[in-house]
Structure 1
């Protein structure tokens, strides 16, 4: 197998397989350093920020007062990198005094900060490409002449160090591979990602928007997006109520003491918004989790064994402080609504309740046509029990029960020993995104700790108080992330039952057939079908094309013949043929489509 030589920050050189992750990371790091040198060469006075390698490629941040890098200039930068490679440029490692290093970067404030952070006393190790230096913090290629298959992809804004209080810099994204075929495959995948990007589709279909000026990470749901979300929420509530859950509403604010008791303040305070001092000693907190709220519902009454299992569910709004740089459309937000639920059970009810929740999750997946998923059962490490909640009997018994429930359902699963939460074992259900990446959609977690911390009890058959086990479960996660997931899976072509507009009705002549079109719409709406009449003064062909662009499941054209026969001309999304149907037959057909959650248009 072919190998490459890597230069490490400590000056050592080693060989690794060319197909290894280490080699790819070094290739990306080296290309990013060459991009820094190209920026310095092409733009006089430019200031250079971080050069970062991640799972998707690399990016370089920069800033210039009088001129910003545009997408049109990326080919010039790519050509400059190519020229350096042809000239046999090398990445040199040098150890400099911090003063000399700072002098080399002049008045570049960002390079100053990076060098100072990387310095060891009054010395700093740097990589040098054609006189452009950067802290040496990762392996690079010893020889850069093998950098041939790369592409500079895009330019975007990014805050320095990911903090919104810092200046906005320009970020250039790039990708690079050893093999041309790998680059071509990556570019193809990126194109598919752009076409499926829920942010792009959300804008095209007018589903939602986020305006950083009024609140980064705080999405506004437009009428169409709100319709999709509301349909999902109603579906979820109906399914959960039918499964024995009692739906509740609880406040979005809670006394900080509750989160200190739960442990959230100790372990997650960096992800929480600052507490609000009410001036009378009371400290209120925007909730990052719903569990303490549902515990209050449980505690409000004395509970008996006859009350168990007690199933509480809520579409609960939560707030988490995500850094600006991590925010992304509906996938990473600061305000979210979680399809949350908590069941309180006796120890001998765990197995049945776990299986019941799992069956509900799989039934929901079936209705949304989610078929590619796997199970990950996280268990306690028997060799290191100190980091887990101390109750050996509960751990051993519950883990045995969960395994038995999975086996009884004939489900394959991966045992992740040592990956249980500190308060109990859990099952994560991993789904595949539209691009084939794993994402945790659903979770079932047993919790022995919170019932203990909050002093939860129930009166058993023996008349004595016992502590229940709490089961946390999420069926589809947050509404925001789930809508983003579905948008990308469906590529915006939502199944009829979810589509914000299910039927688009176009009169051939609005003057002659507009009234009949409204009559058709009225009958469809009476059956709870979302229908819209297009009265605009536009050509019919344009209206039909736009209905297809908006991915409406059914387009109806009504003219003189349809009006005379009491029918409609039906065109399904993605098809060119139109079929004549009576209005009654069409209504029955679309209601069947909706009732069966069919994805066929």
Structure 2
């Protein structure tokens, strides 16, 4: 037998080895059970792949990103096999891995029930224990059509050949010009148990699926289009160990408790009335207090930093968005036009920036006015499909804390540095302090401006980001068409990452709007434009904080900062006098004068996550004092009334979390 030369790559180490012809990737890693696939010359391959001359082979560990995707995609195949064993009439859609799990779509007569999912999961466990082998084979288009003649959705994918994507962007199983089928083979006899059109790779056997669980089912349009049939989608999750699965399920349980939609209902903060429409929230009084407190503090800090407040209407003539380019680049995200003024199209605004440009251009500007920082709490409207609307975090109408900064090119670096520092410090004031930064660079297929300008702007943003001393993650091609950006990514109390503030450079709009200022030498110069949204949107930031604090907002943001709890009815007037004095000092203090017993009142306000309860009985009333009960159940007794109010004021003003 002849030999072939291969290179084994592990991190930075390279090991050149001569092996016999027919050696597979699995043969290079004997006994390494955590290796589930290989990357050969940059392409993911099954461990059964036969190695060729000069190929570079990297092991793929099950706990790596690629390994997890392979594990989850293999588990999706096991789930699809289980479904068809229980429901033989089920037709197969697609089954890709997604973040933390997988799904598979099925065309079935009736939606799956919770009992169906339990049966499918039990059948999956049986298949997993059988140790079926995943076996890849290349097929012609005619053979694929013949083998999958009873699977209409697979036949459609065969017709596409070049591949397609699902509604969440996941690639489907067909890709490139080669068609492949994966067979699930009996471990002992080699007989075919099940098969699917798929590009792989997969685990060697089903026994290497350590831990999985089915989560839920939902309806989903075939290939994400409302014009296509509605299928039933089953979601699941799979992990390299039972401990990791348990940790993930515990995390999901905690996340569910913190879900802002659930908390918004329980704490009476906001709602989404059916009469208004999806993605359009109304804030209730308590939610309105939190929102106003957020906005008031932000407004004060912006004024201290030299921002000037502006206001703009919610709708405008379509010509403005034609000029800005939004009708060319962003029309799908805008609501349809309204026909007003003898056929003139008006649009609900998706962005505030075009109107801020009009404010800049309303009169001549001098270099002495720059940098000019315009700020607006501007409500915008974006058409999101109902399937992606998600509470306050993905809405159709929301208010941006939108700023646009106009400066000279010489001021650009300093202004960016000031802006990013201001953004991070303000986020810290709201209680977020675990950050990393993301630098989004030019999409080579979609950009305006010269390469030289992009290179200078990107280098400037990189230097500004690095000065913060935070991790900087590249996002190649992630910039908008008009310039690079820095995104602040914040981790919440349970480790989830949220994209918060963005700082973007724009070479497009100043050019489109022909913006200029008079320079010191009398010449007309083009300003640099910086877009900056700190919260992103008030609504989304509200949701992030609500989940971060699990509804227990810090006292300075809490709708009720303290509630008076009388031991008996005789103590109500005393507490009302205390509350009135506290309100005169700017505190939000109520008194619970209901007929409920004291212990029930305490339980009620614990559920409402009120920061402090001010309890008064005979001893306190006689001594001119109150007792403080904290969220954790601890209590301070006998605090003089004036001292108690001063203490509350201090906690609120210092924005302390309790």
Answer yes or no: same fold by TM over 0.5: yes
SS at match of 1:119: helix
* TM-superposed deviation, 1:488: 2.0
Q: TM-score when scaled to structure 2?
A: 0.79
SS at match of 1:428: strand
Give per-residue Cα distances to partners, 1:163-206, cap 9 Å, x unaligned.
67777655432111233333233223323322333233333323
1:244 to 279, 290, 306: 306
| Alignment pair present for 1:509 and 2:568 | yes
| Alignment pair present for 1:119 and 2:176 | no
> What is the match of residue 49 of structure 2?
14
Distance 2:80 2:625 in 1: 66
- Higher helix proportion, which one? 1
> What is the match of residue 553 of structure 2?
494
Question: Structure 1 stretch 13-22 or stretch 529-538: which is displaced more?
Answer: 13-22
Q: Given that residues 98 and 116 in structure 1 are in contact (C-alpha distance below 8 angstroms), is that contact kept between their aligned partners in structure 2?
A: no
Q: How does 1:161-560 map to 2 (within 5 A)?
A: 161-162=223-224, 170-211=232-273, 214-278=276-340, 280-377=342-439, 387=447, 389-390=449-450, 392=452, 411=469, 414=472, 416=474, 421-510=480-569, 512-560=570-618
Distance 1:222 1:277 in 2: 33
Q: 1:525 to 1:134 in 2, by over 3 A?
A: farther
Q: 1:45 to 1:387 in 2, by over 3 A?
A: closer
SS at match of 2:378: strand
SS at match of 1:324: coil
| Alignment pair present for 1:141 and 2:197 | no
| Alignment pair present for 1:598 and 2:645 | no
SS at match of 1:140: coil
1:28 to 72, 75, 84: 72
1:87 to 114, 130, 148: 130
2:99 to 42, 55, 62: 55
SS at match of 1:314: strand
1:564 to 616, 622, 639: 622
Distance 1:343 1:261 in 2: 20
Q: 1:254 to 1:161 in 2, by over 3 A?
A: farther
Give per-residue Cα distances to partners, 1:253-277, cap 9 Å, x unaligned.
1222222222222222222222333
Distance 1:215 1:435 in 2: 31
Distance 1:553 1:193 in 2: 22
SS at match of 2:544: helix
Distance 1:385 1:155 in 2: 38
Distance 2:66 2:274 in 1: 37
Q: Given that residues 426 and 444 in structure 1 are in contact (C-alpha distance below 8 angstroms), is that contact kept between their aligned partners in structure 2?
A: yes
Q: 1:164 to 1:222 in 2, by over 3 A?
A: farther
Q: 1:459 to 1:413 in 2, by over 3 A?
A: farther
Distance 2:615 2:427 in 1: 34
Distance 2:232 2:582 in 1: 51
Total equivalences in the alignment: 587
Distance 1:131 1:213 in 2: 51
Question: Structure 1 stretch 82-91 or stretch 241-250: which is displaced more?
Answer: 82-91
Q: 1:489 to 1:137 in 2, by over 3 A?
A: same
Distance 1:249 1:31 in 2: 53
SS at match of 1:141: coil
Distance 1:89 1:238 in 2: 64
Q: Given that residues 400 and 538 in structure 2 are in contact (C-alpha distance below 8 angstroms), is that contact kept between their aligned partners in structure 1?
A: yes
SS at match of 1:104: coil
Q: 1:495 to 1:169 in 2, by over 3 A?
A: farther
Distance 1:417 1:37 in 2: 38
Distance 2:379 2:270 in 1: 18
Distance 2:314 2:540 in 1: 19
Q: TM-score when scaled to structure 1?
A: 0.86
Question: Structure 1 stretch 284-293 or stretch 54-63: which is displaced more?
Answer: 54-63
RMSD of the TM alignment (CA)?
3.5
* TM-superposed deviation, 1:332: 1.5
Distance 1:45 1:534 in 2: 60
Q: How does 1:90-109 map to 2 (within 5 A)?
A: 104-105=150-151
Q: Given that residues 46 and 203 in structure 2 are in contact (C-alpha distance below 8 angstroms), is that contact kept between their aligned partners in structure 1?
A: no
Of structures 1 and 2, the one with the larger relative CO (CA 8 A, separation 6+) is: 1
